[in-house]
Amino acid sequence: PARVLMQDFTGVPAVVDLAAMREAMRSLGGEPELINPLSPADLVIDHSVMVDYFGSADALERNAELEYTRNGERYAFLRWGQSAFSNFRVVPPATGIVHQVNIEYLASVVFSREVAGVTRAYPDTVVGTDSHTTMVNGLGVLGWGVGGIEAEAAML
């Protein structure tokens, strides 16, 4: 696929696996920086956010603040992952639900990449760990729903 899309329940374990692979590479005397997703991967944090406040104009902001307080270590790890790995981005909580974020912000329909000095265009395709990943098909982007292990395999 051109891209991999993960929600937080499946994406966080994938980042842990990437970090473990880097550590294994380091302990074997290799270059840990070589461990990166080969396909661009986006992790959208939406499934684990709890709702404590509702029915007010500042509910979203208050819930987001609580989320960062409750899960600070997790977000520090994901910030590290986003800066440590090439081809990996994290969409923070309170941005939206994964399939909507995919449609509105992440889907490109057509990608271009320079290969051996020649710019090549290719269609956007995505495998995602959310059951609604296939909604992006309405934009002409081929999307498949897969499990977390399959998404991780597609990244690598």
Do 138 and 123 form a contact (C-beta atoms < 8 A)? no
CA distance linking residue 46 with residue 93, whole number of Å: 6
Question: Listing from the earlier edge strand, what are the strands of the sheet with 3-7?
Answer: 88-91, 41-44, 3-7, 125-128, 142-145
CA distance linking residue 42 with residue 136, whole number of Å: 15
Both tokens assigned to 70: 């409750």
Model pTM score? 0.90
- Is the CATH number of domain 3-155 3.30.499.10? yes
The pair phi, psi for residue 71, each rounded to 5°, is -125, 40
Domain regions of the chain by residue span: 3-155
Q: What is the pLDDT along the chain (156 residues), one digit of tens a residue?
A: 999 999 999 999 999 999 999 999 999 999 999 999 999 999 999 877 789 999 999 999 999 999 999 999 999 999 999 999 999 999 998 899 999 999 999 999 998 989 899 999 999 999 999 999 999 999 999 999 999 999 999 999
Query: How long is the chain?
Result: 156
CA distance linking residue 138 with residue 64, whole number of Å: 30
